[in-house]
Structure 1
Amino acid sequence: MKLIKLALVASGVMFTLTGCINTELNASASNSTAPTTTNDPASIISELSAQQQLDVLVAQYYDESLTFSPISATYNGRSEFNDKFTAEISQHNRDKKAAFYKKYQQRLAYIDQAQLSGQALLSYEILNRDLALKLEGMQFPDYLLPINQMSGAHNTYAGFGSGQSAQPFKTPDDYLHFLTRSDGFIKWLASVEKSMAQGIELGVVLPKPLAQKLAPQFKAHVVTKAEDSLFWGPIKNLPESFSAQQKEDITAQYRELIMQRLVPAYNSMSQFLVEQYIPNSRETVGYSDLPNGKAWYEHKIKKNTTLSLSADEIHEIGLSEVSRILSEMKKVKETVGFKDDLAAFFIHLRDSDEFYFDTADELVAAYENVKKKIDARVPLLFDVAPKAPYVVKPVEAYRAQSAAGASYSSPAPDGSRPGIFYINTFNLKAQPKFLLETLSIHEAAPGHHFQIALQQEIEGLPNFRKFGGYTVFAEGWALYAESLGKELGLFTDPYMWYGRLSDEQLRAMRLVLDTGFHAKGWTRQQGIDYMLANSSMAKSDVVAEVERYIAWPGQALSYKLGQFKIQDLREYCKKELGDQFDIKAFHTQILIDGALPMPILEEKIKRWVKFQR
């Protein structure tokens, strides 16, 4: 397997857009040789070529964007942001962000797009689209719903503070940086409470089941002893290289942080949720029930899918797919000799102990074994692979109850941390054995790990693309990767094939439920009943999924719609190239330029096909 070397692909290709690097400048802010310039567009135009102008602009855009997202900066290896936290929620800070987007939109307009090609043209198209979409989205009051049971900077902060995430705790300065970052977190949390209180006044609040799941996440950090706190983890693991005085001072500072500042902050938020927010949360669940909710949801669809599809169109696609996959499931039922109907087969799969592990350790070990099996077969369909390895780990206990069944965390850009395939061991009945192969493909190789780790390793890719992404591309790719299982020699066991169908059915049901909740007035219970009737998923898992779609409108649409687009592009290439079609080359083309909005990916692939003929 080889690394992506974009310069090799680019040789002699003027307009194929595959792997062309910008040789004039290195866009990386940490190793930039870009000519010094001012922010004056006229000055840039007079001094630099269009490609140089763009290289300077995207490097500056990325660096300035990190001031709005220091958490992302830490994940991306930019240590100078390790003492900073997300800015407080305020009109002033929203205005600053809008001005930032408009400034770069104006600067981008000065660059002559007609003079760009290769990666430069892709970067122009992506940034131009993204800036317009970000500004469009600022008309909607997302700030009134800053956290939910699934996500929020409060969970990221807890992960950092545990010492088990991207926040480093190797030097005395590292420990001091987290103390300073904690000051920012406490201010941010106070602004969250204030913003959510404003949401009560304006009728923009979370549905009650979501608010109820959110409250325990804060109560868990209200401890009576510092040693019982999640944030005591770094103190338990103080490096031996620290002097006795350093250990004593840091320990005292962390004890004060936890008991005098964090516990009161978490307790205040917990009381606010229980006493004020939950009683005023809403009984309805869809965005269509919020002020201007229809337009808000349409924006969520556009943002998450990058496609021009209506809620009604997506709903019908979902219904059709659910029906098709049910027919395939019936074939599996017949293959394994189950005599009763499909509903009874679902109950059999949910309730029979043979399909589940007895312990969390057995579950994690099984995924580690499947990892070895899949990794050995990936070269059958790919001639690129990331340098970064990945490991299998259980989801941390503090977030397991509300976390997804599985997830992926990208490796550190400098190689200091591998990619992580998280498997949730909280409820073993939500982790059937027949999901082993398909879930591993999706989250790890050749799914998320391949796509995300490769993106970080592409030479010459501007940082805003190296560390950016699109849900429809990432999740569409991972679901498409699942469809490669038989070509990789997997899914030979009928139950493992059922696992693949089960995962695909989950994504098809998401099209129905997401649009059902947010555009068609479905209730939470209606969604639960629909999933139970059309799958063998455990009820606890169904409830978590339903509440996820309610919390993240539009996100769940990305999987199936992204898979459809990639599959359509594969069929297009096969039809146009005939005997020249090479599946490894096609996969390289999908992955070689990082995540792209689907319309831009489609145009890129069509140009590649034209060049091949």
Structure 2
Amino acid sequence: MKKQLLGASVVLLLSACQSNSISEPGASSSKLANASSSAVQVKQSEAQRLNILLEEYFKESMALNPIYATFVGENAYNDKFPAPISVENRAKELAFEKKYLKAINAIDAGKLEGQDLLSYKIFKQDREMSIIGSSFDDYLLPFNQMYGVHNFFATLGSGASAQPFNTAQDYYNFEQRAKGFALFMDSAIDAMREGIEKKVVLPKAIIEKVLPQLQAHMVDDVKSSVFYGPLTMLETNEQISESEKAKIIASYSKVIAGVIVPTYKKTYAFVKDEYQQHGRDSVGLSALPKGKAWYEYQIAENTTLPLTAEEIHEYGQQEVARILGEMKKVKQTVGFKGSLPEFFTFLKEDGQFYFSSEQEVVDAYEAVKTKINNRVGQLFEIFPKADYEVRPVEAFRAASSAGASYQSPAPDGSRPGIFYINTHDLKAQPKFIMETLSIHEASPGHHFQTSIQQEVEGLAKFRKFGGYTVFDEGWALYAESLGKEMGLFTDPYQWYGRLADEQLRAMRLVVDTGLHAKGWSRQQAIDFMTANSSMAASDIESEVERYISIPGQALAYKIGQRAIRDMRTKAEAALGDKFDIRKFHTQILIDGALPMPILQAKVEQWVEAQKKA
């Protein structure tokens, strides 16, 4: 049974955590204890000003991003959709960031400590980065095959996501949200037309993948629409009267037929008949206006570190070579006599490594979940309250989605976390990646990190529900490296799966920088990944197109893992016998996602405190 954060131990743990966070430079606990009452009052006043500011920011941000509000349980916005793309609305968003940067700069950081000082540093950095990011024309590319309103709106409307469908009002809320979606998609078309004029357009290969995603929702019978899902849920809903159900079915069906389906049809027609012919042959961000600076920003945004594309590319090449060497050792261990490329072919083609049905995949991952849950106590002393479920990716988005993903639980505990497995192509889900993939997406990877962050009491909401890709994905990849310490990866093929997963992340460093800084073509990236892994061809194609669509995001995994591993190595060397791996992991997780420089400073301070303990 999974251990949980419960009772008085939670209070003690969180209190200890806060005292271990970054404090005012030079302000020792003894100095604070001897401070005059007036000085203490000043500090309380400044901290109070900060926390009022952070709460105001969070509330105001909900109105700007009502979908985000729904996901974090702020249900007052469930009928709203983000404002349409326009010069006026973009100016409002920039003014919002500038207003709060000015406000945070008026806070005296020297009078803050603990969680307050952490929040100050994070908030200030976030506002500065957002303002810099506003100088790039990402609004001209409002969606792609990986991320975009056309996909997440369908997931919301399916009834299997964060949008609640419990009361009659819930249904009417989504009807109103659908009307907002239609307005937003009209504005997205206008923005993409502007993109054509400015030559900021999607690559042709990406446009080809978006079209079927739009077409999937162009149905003639509303009952065949994914958006009809919530209406099927009415049958077992005892909170709504039969007469009210009839009204909902009539009005909701009308919205599907008269608003949602026409919106997808209109967008599809625009993309196919007008936009596609202007799609670009190039794929890298550097090929666009201000592209070089844009990619440098994406590196900084996604890694939180002062790194160049060149040094990341070189590090990736080194890691790819190292991991290939480890793969050769596995080949020798299992007694395979051929070359490494032949071993890759064997792993891709031999039926023993693949599932025969979607249900078999889900059942296998449920079994791995149980195995891991029985072992995490060896390395952790804190555990999420929330559980997670294993589900296949919905059919309407499976063809262009990643092999696996994770959706965080509802903050109020009403919805568990979801570990999505893409069963669209069973050859892209080999059995030998089960242990490492489950660790990464669920426990002790994303599910641990995200759930614990949401469950920390007193954490500012912008941190509780925020994140940094380098921390989130760096932690998940670091978590994979803990498998052997937990008694997993005893099967050499499962260990190969771990190597294959790390190799994917190492190849990402090379391919992402190759595409966006070195002028690589889509095919060049595919060829590189084919030569250095046993991944399925379909998986390689979707991965490469993912990197094309979201530049820089793929860098975060390996860069974050390296940073966390370096912190552990230094802590082990500094503390020797005093080093406790469970307490180290608490320090990494208990303050939520942090930029790497801030996390490093926090861990260094913890190490110094442990030396004196």
2:603 maps to which residue?
605
Q: For 2:354 and 2:19, how far apart are their aligned partners in 1?
A: 52
1:381 maps to which residue?
379
**1:6, 1:459 within 8 Å by CA — same for their partners in 2?**
no
**2:433, 2:494 within 8 Å by CA — same for their partners in 1?**
yes
User: How far 1:569 sits from its partner (Å)?
Assistant: 0.0
- Residues 197 and 123 of structure 1, relative CA distance in 2, 3 Å threshold: same
Instruction: Indicate whether 1:151 and 2:155 are aligned.
Output: no
1:399 maps to which residue?
397
Instruction: Indicate whether 1:510 and 2:508 are aligned.
Output: yes
1:332 maps to which residue?
330
Letter in 2 for 1:8: L
**2:142, 2:188 within 8 Å by CA — same for their partners in 1?**
yes
User: How far 1:254 sits from its partner (Å)?
Assistant: 1.5
Q: For 2:257 and 2:364, how far apart are their aligned partners in 1?
A: 41
User: How far 1:8 sits from its partner (Å)?
Assistant: 2.3
Q: For 1:190 and 1:303, how far apart are their aligned partners in 2?
A: 29
Letter in 1 for 2:100: Y
1:33 maps to which residue?
none
1:16 maps to which residue?
20
SS at match of 2:64: coil
User: How far 1:378 sits from its partner (Å)?
Assistant: 0.3
Residues 572-591 of structure 1, C-alpha deviations (whole Å, 9 max, x = no match): 10111111000001000000
**1:294, 1:519 within 8 Å by CA — same for their partners in 2?**
yes
Instruction: Pick one of 17, 30, 54 that aligns with 2:50.
Output: 54
Instruction: Pick one of 140, 144, 169 that aligns with 2:165.
Output: 169
SS at match of 1:49: helix
Q: For 1:288 and 1:78, how far apart are their aligned partners in 2?
A: 39
Residues 278-337 of structure 1, C-alpha deviations (whole Å, 9 max, x = no match): 111000100010001000000000000101000000000000000000000000001111
- Aligned pairs for 1:281-320 (under 5 A) are 281-320=279-318
1:41 maps to which residue?
none
Q: For 2:470 and 2:305, how far apart are their aligned partners in 1?
A: 9
Q: For 2:250 and 2:17, how far apart are their aligned partners in 1?
A: 61
- Residues 478 and 46 of structure 1, relative CA distance in 2, 3 Å threshold: closer
Q: For 1:490 and 1:112, how far apart are their aligned partners in 2?
A: 49
SS at match of 2:218: coil
1:124 maps to which residue?
120
- Aligned pairs for 1:28-177 (under 5 A) are 49-177=45-173
Q: For 1:511 and 1:612, how far apart are their aligned partners in 2?
A: 35
SS at match of 1:570: helix
What count of residue pairs does the alignment treat as equivalent? 589
User: How far 1:407 sits from its partner (Å)?
Assistant: 0.5
1:267 maps to which residue?
265
TM-score between both structures, scaled by the size of structure 2: 0.94
1:364 maps to which residue?
362
User: How far 1:46 sits from its partner (Å)?
Assistant: 9.6
**2:17, 2:591 within 8 Å by CA — same for their partners in 1?**
no
1:542 maps to which residue?
540
**2:17, 2:587 within 8 Å by CA — same for their partners in 1?**
no
Letter in 2 for 1:328: E
Q: For 1:371 and 1:2, how far apart are their aligned partners in 2?
A: 16
Residues 1-10 or 483-492, more deviating: 1-10
Residues 2-25 of structure 1, C-alpha deviations (whole Å, 9 max, x = no match): 5286752576899631799xxxxx
- Residues 13 and 417 of structure 1, relative CA distance in 2, 3 Å threshold: closer
2:36 maps to which residue?
none
User: How far 1:352 sits from its partner (Å)?
Assistant: 0.8
User: How far 1:265 sits from its partner (Å)?
Assistant: 1.2
- Residues 61 and 405 of structure 1, relative CA distance in 2, 3 Å threshold: same
Q: For 2:298 and 2:162, how far apart are their aligned partners in 1?
A: 29
Tell me which stretches of 4 or more aligned residues in structure 1 moved more than 3 Å: 4-7, 9-15, 45-48
SS at match of 1:408: strand
Q: For 1:425 and 1:15, how far apart are their aligned partners in 2?
A: 45
User: How far 1:243 sits from its partner (Å)?
Assistant: 2.3
> Aligned-pair RMSD on alpha carbons?
1.7
- Residues 88 and 537 of structure 1, relative CA distance in 2, 3 Å threshold: same
Q: For 2:218 and 2:573, how far apart are their aligned partners in 1?
A: 61
Residues 261-270 or 180-189, more deviating: 261-270
Structure 1: gaps of 5 or more residues: 21-44
1:499 maps to which residue?
497
Instruction: Pick one of 541, 560, 563 that aligns with 2:561.
Output: 563
1:3 maps to which residue?
5
Identity of aligned residues (%): 57
Q: For 1:9 and 1:168, how far apart are their aligned partners in 2?
A: 33
1:578 maps to which residue?
576
Instruction: Indicate whether 1:226 and 2:230 are aligned.
Output: no
1:343 maps to which residue?
341
Letter in 1 for 2:99: K
Q: For 1:209 and 1:514, how far apart are their aligned partners in 2?
A: 16
2:177 maps to which residue?
181
Instruction: Pick one of 206, 211, 215 that aligns with 2:211.
Output: 215
Q: For 2:44 and 2:495, how far apart are their aligned partners in 1?
A: 56
Structure 2: gaps of 5 or more residues: 25-40
SS at match of 1:545: helix
Letter in 1 for 2:266: S
TM-score between both structures, scaled by the size of structure 1: 0.94
Q: For 2:506 and 2:186, how far apart are their aligned partners in 1?
A: 39
User: How far 1:61 sits from its partner (Å)?
Assistant: 0.7
Letter in 2 for 1:16: N
Letter in 2 for 1:69: N
Q: For 1:117 and 1:163, how far apart are their aligned partners in 2?
A: 43
SS at match of 1:407: strand
Q: For 2:433 and 2:228, how far apart are their aligned partners in 1?
A: 36
**2:384, 2:451 within 8 Å by CA — same for their partners in 1?**
yes
**2:387, 2:417 within 8 Å by CA — same for their partners in 1?**
yes
Letter in 2 for 1:201: E
Letter in 2 for 1:79: N
**1:302, 1:308 within 8 Å by CA — same for their partners in 2?**
yes
Instruction: Pick one of 424, 428, 432 that aligns with 1:434.
Output: 432
